[in-house]
Structure 1
Amino acid sequence: MMLYAFYALLLTAAAAYGFFQGRYLKTPLTRTNIVLVIAHPDDEVMFFGPTLAELTRSENGNTVRVLCMSSGNHDGLGEKRKKELVASCRSFGIRESHVTVLERDELKDGPKELWDPSLVGDQMNLYAKKHNIETIITFDEKGVSGHTNHIACYVGLTYFIQTFKNNTPVKTCYVLKSISLLRKYISILDLPFTMAMTEALMPLVSQLTGHGSVAVLIGGQNSATNRTNLRPSELLFVSAPSAIVQAKGAMEKHESQMVWFRKLYVIFSRYMSINELRRVM
């Protein structure tokens, strides 16, 4: 019985994956300035690879930047890890000038290091104003892996929203949804579960069934002229095989971090092929 259930899951995942490779679900984040805020070098690909692969596609016309809150110097490898981050981002077509690593004593790498939310939020605000950022993407309140520094990015984003939302070029903020440990390590087999629970497919379902207003479902606006500015409550990015290879290549740039368990992570982690983002502003 368990074997039959596995085969059913495998076939369902394959069918769902084929659906996404038809590119029926388009990203609404186009022709905009985006910053991905991470805690350490390698976060950008270990957790956000599908997001970067999609948003940096040339036809989407985005300018994507990466703001890294620390150099990941917990083991004294900060300088090396900064160079690895630049090389990894280059794999996604992100220029070195669009990669910023903060060097502050108050933002040290480490699971026991508690970052001041106001400092993190202030850095987001300064960066957004300097580069006219319209969308911020970072971790959610569980930080995917539960790392204190990941969670600090979310708490800092919360401070940013509460403090600066009326005086910032930022229009939308998204966070990467954390999932259970079991789902986290079944790679693309998690896609049927994701599709069953996400709101990201609602606009597409509305179009296919002819029920309801797509604009209302995803943005609460009815003007066709504003359609390109609509931002849904959830986004779902599923990488094509080429994008998965791209992400694996980017991860290999982080040579200092490629110990045995991270090699297994690259093979089995759902975050190497699937990203689900939730809008918080």
Structure 2
Amino acid sequence: MSSFAMLQLAFLTLAITSIAAYGFFHGRFLKNPITRTSILLAIAHPDDEVMFFGPTLAELSRPEHGNTIHVLCMSSGNHDGLGETRKKELVASCKTFGIREANILVLEREELQDGPNNLWDPSLVGDQMNLYAKKHNIETIVTFDDKGVSGHTNHIALYVGLTYFIQTFKERTPVKTCYVLKSVSLLRKYIAILDLPITMLSTEALMPLVSQMFGLGGAASLAGGATSSVRNRAMVRPQELLYVSAPAAVYKAKTAMEKHESQMVWFRKIYVVVSRYMSINELRRVM
């Protein structure tokens, strides 16, 4: 068998496995444990909310979950002088997910300007998270991890700022849980839904399901190893969450991305098609 034929076979096998995995798990086992709460998505630039967090927003904003979603954007993305345009695009994108304009705040601070060479002060980022959380009684924060998905300096600053927030304000904030979006390798990042089998083999989010299937029992522990009492079971948050979008949710994310007209250059049009972050989000709990 030629190398090309082997490559074709590997691709076909991965595609079939991905479809089978999606059909078996989605809607039956991938339940959303975050309901009836206030959630803050902290991002660096307009379009981050859909380019990276589309599946998370699509799931958490479903009306039956009863969540209130807020978006805190640390900059207007004014690197090319399009800040005002990009703020309007962010509002339009969030509207696709049912997020009200009143729940969106874009900061305009000299110290938090868009650009890979602009290093943001983590204490300032953390302070802004704290101020917003206290004002709007936020219970859950979601943001980037330490690799920032794309490695962008501003994305990583959100993680460092969240770390500062947790260390400084943990005992005096309404926030009870914080999650970060897990970064994956470059290859996995650009194989769309074909990454699902790999994700399923590596994530801890499916461990409760494995325990259930094999009769192992036991409850998933909270961060730090604590387990919940029956009285506080409603506040249990797992160590990892896995959100896999149905085709309708993927289309919603694509529609939201199209609201960012100023950013839809050729490589972002390709990104919408090939990025696994348009259909798969894996979140890790850090608080």
- Scaled by the length of structure 2, the TM-score of the pair is 0.95
Which amino acid letter does the alignment assign opposite residue 66 of structure 1? Answer: V
Asked if structure 2 preserves the Cα contact closer than 8 Å seen for 1:46 and 1:272, the reply is: yes
Which amino acid letter does the alignment assign opposite residue 251 of structure 1? Answer: M
Is residue 33 of structure 1 aligned with residue 38 of structure 2?
Answer: yes
Shift of 1:216: 4.2
What is the count of residue pairs matched by the alignment? Answer: 281
5+ residue gaps in structure 2?
1-5
Return the alpha-carbon distance in structure 1 between the equivalents of residues 26 and 200 of structure 2.
14
Query: 1:207 maps to what in 2?
Result: 212
Return the alpha-carbon distance in structure 2 between the equivalents of residues 20 and 208 of structure 1.
12
Choose which of 258, 262, 265 in structure 2 pairs with 1:252.
258
Return the alpha-carbon distance in structure 2 between the equivalents of residues 274 and 216 of structure 1.
23
Query: 2:3 maps to what in 1?
Result: none
Asked if structure 2 preserves the Cα contact closer than 8 Å seen for 1:207 and 1:214, the reply is: no
Shift of 1:5: 1.8
Q: How does 1:53-92 map to 2 (within 5 A)?
A: 53-92=58-97
Which amino acid letter does the alignment assign opposite residue 177 of structure 2? Answer: T
Asked if structure 2 preserves the Cα contact closer than 8 Å seen for 1:215 and 1:227, the reply is: no
Tell me how large the CA RMSD over aligned residues is: 1.3
Aligned-partner SS, 1:146: coil
Return the alpha-carbon distance in structure 2 between the equivalents of residues 4 and 153 of structure 1.
41
Is residue 184 of structure 1 aligned with residue 189 of structure 2?
Answer: yes
Question: Structure 1, residues 40-88: CA drift from partner, whole Å, max 9, x if none?
Answer: 0000000000000000011111011000000000000000000000000
Question: Structure 1, residues 206-252: CA drift from partner, whole Å, max 9, x if none?
Answer: 22222131354897425334222111111000000000000000000
Return the alpha-carbon distance in structure 2 between the equivalents of residues 73 and 5 of structure 1.
43
Shift of 1:31: 0.6
Query: 2:132 maps to what in 1?
Result: 127
Q: 1:206 to 1:224 in 2, by over 3 A?
A: farther
Choose which of 3, 10, 14 in structure 2 pairs with 1:9.
14
Query: 1:242 maps to what in 2?
Result: 248
Shift of 1:22: 2.7
Asked if structure 1 preserves the Cα contact closer than 8 Å seen for 2:220 and 2:238, the reply is: no
Which amino acid letter does the alignment assign opposite residue 231 of structure 1? Answer: R
- The percentage of aligned residue pairs carrying the same residue is 76
Which amino acid letter does the alignment assign opposite residue 151 of structure 2? Answer: G
Return the alpha-carbon distance in structure 2 between the equivalents of residues 20 and 110 of structure 1.
39
Q: How does 1:115-154 map to 2 (within 5 A)?
A: 115-154=120-159
5+ residue gaps in structure 1?
none
Asked if structure 1 preserves the Cα contact closer than 8 Å seen for 2:147 and 2:183, the reply is: yes
Query: 1:233 maps to what in 2?
Result: 239
Which amino acid letter does the alignment assign opposite residue 145 of structure 1? Answer: S
Which amino acid letter does the alignment assign opposite residue 84 of structure 2? Answer: E
Asked if structure 2 preserves the Cα contact closer than 8 Å seen for 1:49 and 1:273, the reply is: yes
- Scaled by the length of structure 1, the TM-score of the pair is 0.97
Return the alpha-carbon distance in structure 2 between the equivalents of residues 216 and 256 of structure 1.
44
Deviates more, 1:217-226 or 1:248-257: 217-226
Q: How does 1:102-113 map to 2 (within 5 A)?
A: 102-113=107-118
Choose which of 147, 156, 160 in structure 2 pairs with 1:155.
160
Return the alpha-carbon distance in structure 2 between the equivalents of residues 159 and 99 of structure 1.
22
Asked if structure 1 preserves the Cα contact closer than 8 Å seen for 2:219 and 2:227, the reply is: no
Query: 2:27 maps to what in 1?
Result: 22
Query: 1:267 maps to what in 2?
Result: 273
Return the alpha-carbon distance in structure 2 between the equivalents of residues 188 and 116 of structure 1.
36
